[in-house]
A and B are shown apart, each in its own frame.
Chain A
């Protein structure tokens, strides 16, 4: 469809090209529909994959959409805000579960994003100056990011097995830690396990972005400050960080959203059912919907999650823009 309109556009403006200014302006006005034609396929697909599902999802959250109504959910009874009331009633099992999962996800996100940024920053600085073998390490550090996510996580899952895993072997047999080998994928250790795996996957992305950012800082700035007697740490604080601001702004927001919404890591690491300590929110909503087949309740939780993310991202962007204006 757009191909047809596009080819006529070529003919029209092709004819107008080279003509005096007045005619060209007229041709431009005549082509007002061109951007819309270019946009049409994207708008159609956006409607199908995002807008309609989102509206449907919000509508679903007001329905008593249980197993009985899935095949024909037009007949599901409308129950208003009841799904929300249950999800936010922290005395109910559903509400309590959601609140706990939310708390775990917040802690998970802060630790994973913070440490991934730190590792990425350290590696980017360590590889900033040329030395023999630098390219090898740069490539090596990118591998966890390049691996299909499930392949990397399954390797960790194997490493974290209680009896046949590499981690317990390293800690207890090689390094001689006293005591019994613990479970890593069930019980309280599951939180530490999912955090470590998530960092392993995420930090190379921070490294990649920060490395690109560091390369864009002109070296003479450092040289000038070194002449003034600035130590590396001071240079980092006074030059590197401010110069990286635009990249950091995007990087931290993107890492926050990815980590907060992370479904893949706990799903592959823990299999179908997650231990309470590793009950991250996307996985929680998924299980709440597909294990109990209560889609109305799951949709309400999704909408609450969406509102939370919108508010946090909005505040973040406002705050960052204000700081930029003041600077």
Chain B
């Protein structure tokens, strides 16, 4: 089909403007991570006077970045795996069985998705404090406590999206498995889960990304012992200096694994997200 001039102009202008808008902060992040400290404290320059990788070395000393990194990896991974496992069973039940209470359950799950995190933050914080007072179990400042709070957003999303995804898998597959002598659980593991792999990948990526980037719970529920990157990255300011070059270098480092992972798996993500969303 022939493209009109108007359409071509529209395409070029749109792509140019949005590319500039998208790139500039990323460029500033990358380039500033390779500047000496005086360079980022004075007037901005688009190109550094000296290119250096020193910020990438210093950033591990200025704050305990490695330990924050470790906390983020553990908390995000456990929260992702846990919500995925729980969601697989729940979504299978919702998608394949009619039972009393089904709509109440899925309605509750769906509605918790739209609630502000701050609504759960205050009560969870108080409940955690209370558990500590009454039972001596410390949750604020531990990874376990953080993982529980992260489930507040990753679990409902996982259930919602997987149920939509399972619905899209033809029931004939289940029937065929049944004919072959599989019970429901074996059908789930042998037939449904392999068929739902793009959906599972999408849910896992999404849970991991949101946990990795979570700030609200992390800012309240963490102390020195379990601090995540989201909070740790804000600690590069001292009374005398803000180490912008090290902050930018650290930002690059915490971004690289997740951006690469996302870009590699983005096809699955798009397919899974739209399948789950348009149900």
Taking Cβ atoms with an 8 Å cutoff, the residues of A that contact B are 2, 6-7, 9-14, 17-18, 31-32, 34-36, 38-39, 41-43, 45-46, 48-54, 56-57, 60, 65, 70-74, 119, 122-123, 125-127, 129, 137, 139-152, 154-156, 158-159, 163-166, 168-169, 173, 200, 203-204, 208-209, 211-213, 216, 222-223, 226, 231-232, 246-247, 250-251, 253-254, 257, 260-261, 263-264, 267-268, 271, 282, 285-286, 289-290, 295, 298-299, 302-303, 305-306, 309-310, 313
Given A146-B258, A159-B28 in contact, is the A209-B273 Cβ separation under 8 Å?
A: yes
Interface of A is mostly: helix
Q: Are B43 and A164 in contact (CB under 8 A)?
A: yes
Assuming A142-B263, A150-B230, A155-B248, is B122 touching A289 (CB within 8 A)? yes
CB-CB < 8 A to B178: which residues of A? 17
A151 near B254: Cβ-Cβ < 8 Å: yes
- CA–CA, A142 and B111, complex, Å: 28
Residues of A within 8 A of B121 (CB): 286
Is B172 an interface residue when CB atoms closer than 8 A count as contact? no
Decide: A122 and B14 in contact? CB cutoff 8 A.
yes
Q: Are B119 and A54 in contact (CB under 8 A)?
A: yes
CA distance A2 to B97 in the complex (A): 16
Interface band, chain B: 35 or more
What are the residues of chain A within 8 A of B209 when measuring CB–CB?
A: 146, 148
CB-contact partner of A39 in B93, B113, B133, B274, under 8 A: B93
B75 → chain A, closest Cβ, in Å?
A: 13
A57 and B123 within 8 A (CB):
yes
Q: A-B contact count, CB below 8 Å?
A: 313
CB of A57 within 8 A of CB of B122, answer yes
Report 5 cross-chain contacts, Cβ distance below 8 Å, ordered by A residue. A60-B122, A123-B15, A141-B22, A285-B118, A302-B116
Interface string of B123-156 (1 = CB under 8 A from A): 1101101100100000000000000110110011
Cβ-neighbour of B22 out of A43, A45, A127, A144 (below 8 A)? A144
